[in-house]
Amino acid sequence: MINTLILQAPAETTRYLIAGYTVIFGIMLLYVVSLVVRSRNLKREIENLKQLDEEKK
């Protein structure tokens, strides 16, 4: 009876579920953060370049 119950139970794979979704959520978050950071840096660079251009004039 106990053997039958053990055989019928799903495999214990919770740690792989956690690992899988940590990777999925982690990479997605990193990518979104990278978009925000790159956008902010480019905006800052544009401001600096515009300022340099005006100083040249």
Partner 1 sequence: MNPKPRLLAILDVITILLFLTAVGMVFFYAPLEAVMGQVQRVFYFHVANAWVGMLGFMVAAIAGIAFLRKGDRKWDIVGLSAIEISFVFFFTAIVSGSIWARGSWGTWWTWDPRLTTAAICELVYAAYFLLRQGIDDPDRRARFGAVYAILSFISVPLTFISIRIFRTIHPVIIGSGAAGAEGSFEMAPKMLQTFMFSLFTFSIIFVDLLWHRIRLGKLAEETENLRLKTLQ
Which lies closer to partner 1 via its Cβ, residue 2 or residue 49? 49
Q: Taking the complex as a whole, how short is the minimal distance between the CB of residue 25 and partner 1, in angstroms? A: 9
**What letter does residue 11 receive in the DSSP assignment?**
P
Q: Tell me which residues in 1-57 interact with partner 1 (CB under 8 A).
A: 10-14, 16-17, 19-21, 23-24, 27-28, 31-32, 35, 38-39, 42-43, 45-46, 49-50, 52-53, 56
